[in-house]
Structure 1
Amino acid sequence: MSSEPADDGLGVPELDDRIAILRGNLRDLVEQASGSLGAAAEELLSERIADQQAELDRLLDRRNGIASKA
């Protein structure tokens, strides 16, 4: 169920907004992970952090590609 978000046609401002949201999500997840109890919760949070980081990396690459063409 890992569908790619539809971000075709987004400009730099929209990508910047999504990047800011993902960075906020990562901060929140790291805070949750530091206070989580139990291995199952920790594993789930680790997976969510990895997913959010992968999406952030993908959007940053896309943004950098757009910026380098401008």
Structure 2
Amino acid sequence: MPNAAALAALEKEIADVRENIRDLTEQAAAYSGAEDDALSADRIAEQEALLARLQKERDALAR
């Protein structure tokens, strides 16, 4: 039986990361300039990698 508290915590963290990605995407659309674009892309990529890791962790815990 998966640990319900751990799954709930992961779900919350996943939701938070998704919200961060949405916020960063909106910010990137508002900024202009190559330097801003690169920084935004890096931040979004970091959050997407974190999201993927958390989803794998959640899936493994749910088994």
TM-score by length of 2: 0.89
1:58 aligns with 2:50: no
Residue 44 of structure 1 corresponds to: 39
What displacement does 1:44 show? 0.2
Residue 23 of structure 1 corresponds to: 18
Residue segments in structure 1 that go unaligned for 5+ positions in a row: 1-9
Higher normalized contact order (CA 8 Å, seq sep 6+, divided by chain length): 2
Give the partner amino acid of 1:56: L
Q: What secondary structure, in the 3-state scheme, does the structure 1 residue paired with 2:35 have?
A: helix
1:34 aligns with 2:29: yes
Give the partner amino acid of 2:24: L
TM-score by length of 1: 0.81
Q: What secondary structure, in the 3-state scheme, does the structure 1 residue paired with 2:32 have?
A: coil
Question: Between Structure 1 and Structure 2, how many residues are aligned?
Answer: 59
Residue segments in structure 2 that go unaligned for 5+ positions in a row: none
What displacement does 1:22 show? 0.1
RMSD over aligned CA atoms reads 1.0
Cα distance in structure 2, aligned partners of 1:28 and 1:61 = 23
Question: Which structure has the highest helix share of the two?
Answer: 2
